């Protein structure tokens, strides 16, 4: 019975890593669709989000079954409950990538993002992709230095997010209202993607150390 339990825990861990890898791909492709106004690619990102949702449902069902049948305690219980919360964060990251792709589709054939601010968003998207990839490595290795790196990347993401609103509020901002809304939403989606990555990193830190961070997002 213990071998079955350990196999279930390993499978849950592998499914979390797979989800993290999938959301990294989703953000990469979603940003590409937005930057190049590629509506076909956007549609692929939107459709692929169903796979991330499926992975979450599969993981959550496995975790709940393990809780019900195995009665884990201490660190094993933390692992299973933490996995349920991490899968929710990863699923939300996939949703945020999908939102970017949906914005591409909504504004096609016109670009949703003005060229004058696209460089900032390109930086934010790259950081998000780096965060998602780092989350996958963290889940695989439990190396807490990676968790620190994720938090530092998110600080830079927050700085860029603030700079977007500085540009939008500037006197020389001349884009119309729909474009301004698109810019604000895009910045928010990119910023929240990173926040969810930090949330996963802090949960992994808790699993490793047993110490809960009260500032967790």
Pick the range with the lowest mean pLDDT from 54-58, 60-64, 170-174, 199-203: 60-64
Pick the range with the lowest mean pLDDT from 26-40, 66-80, 127-141, 197-211: 66-80
Span 91-116, pLDDT tens digits: 999 999 999 999 999 999 999 999 99
pLDDT at 212: 65
Tell me, what DSSP letter sits at residue 10? H
> Is position 215 within any domain?
no
CATH number of the domain within which 39 lies: 1.20.58.220
Neighbour-count burial of 158, counting CB atoms closer than 10 A to its CB (0-12 exposed, 13-18 middle, 19+ buried)? middle
For residues 68-81, average pLDDT = 73
d(CA 99, CA 51): 15
Query: Nearest-CA neighbor of 28 among 51, 50, 44?
Result: 44
pLDDT score of 48 more than 80: yes
Name the percent of the chain lying above pLDDT 70: 93
For residues 2-8, average pLDDT = 72
Domain that holds residue 89: 2-209
Query: Nearest-CA neighbor of 109 among 38, 177, 209?
Result: 38
| Measured distance between the N- and C-terminal CA atoms of the chain, rounded to whole angstroms | 36
pLDDT band at residue 21, thresholds of 50, 70 and 90? very high
pLDDT at 8: 77
d(CA 185, CA 193): 12
> Is position 159 within any domain?
yes
- Sequence-separated (6 or more) residues with CB below 8 Å from residue 160: 120, 123, 124, 127
d(CA 111, CA 34): 7
> Is position 217 within any domain?
no
> Is position 216 within any domain?
no
Query: Nearest-CA neighbor of 100 among 39, 177, 180, 176?
Result: 39
Span 160-197, pLDDT tens digits: 999 999 999 999 999 999 999 999 999 999 999 999 99
> Is position 81 within any domain?
yes
Helices 74-107 and 177-209 pack at an angle, to 10 degrees, of 170
d(CA 24, CA 22): 5
pLDDT band at residue 84, thresholds of 50, 70 and 90? very high
Q: What DSSP string runs through 138-182? A: HHHH--HHHHHHHHHHHHHHHHHHHHHHHHHHSTT----HHHHHH
Q: How many domains does the chain have?
A: 1
99 and 189 Cβ atoms separated by less than 8 Å:
yes
pLDDT at 217: 45
Name the percent of the chain lying above pLDDT 90: 77
């Amino acid at each position: 019975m213990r071998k079955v339990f350990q196999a279930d825990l390993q499978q849950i861990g592998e499914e979390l890593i797979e989800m993290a890898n999938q959301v990294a791909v989703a953000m990469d492709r979603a940003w590409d669709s937005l930057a190049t106004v590629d509506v076909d690619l956007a549609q692929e990102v939107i459709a692929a989000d169903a796979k991330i949702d499926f992975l979450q449902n599969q993981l959550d069902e496995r975790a709940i079954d393990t809780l019900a049948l195995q009665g884990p305690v201490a660190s094993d219980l933390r692992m299973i409950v933490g996995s349920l919360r991490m899968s929710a964060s990863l699923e939300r990251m996939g949703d945020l990538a999908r939102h970017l792709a949906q914005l591409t589709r909504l504004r096609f054939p016109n670009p949703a993002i003005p060229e004058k601010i696209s460089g900032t968003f390109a930086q934010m998207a790259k950081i998000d992709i780096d965060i998602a990839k780092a989350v996958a490595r963290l889940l695989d290795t439990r190396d807490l230095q990676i968790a620190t790196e994720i938090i530092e990347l998110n600080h830079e993401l927050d700085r860029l997010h603030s700079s977007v609103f500085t540009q939008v509020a500037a006197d020389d901002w001349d884009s119309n209202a729909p474009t301004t809304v698109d810019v604000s939403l895009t910045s928010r989606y990119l910023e929240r993607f990173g926040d969810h990555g930090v949330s996963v990193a802090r949960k992994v830190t808790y699993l490793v150390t047993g110490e809960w961070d009260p500032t967790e997002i």
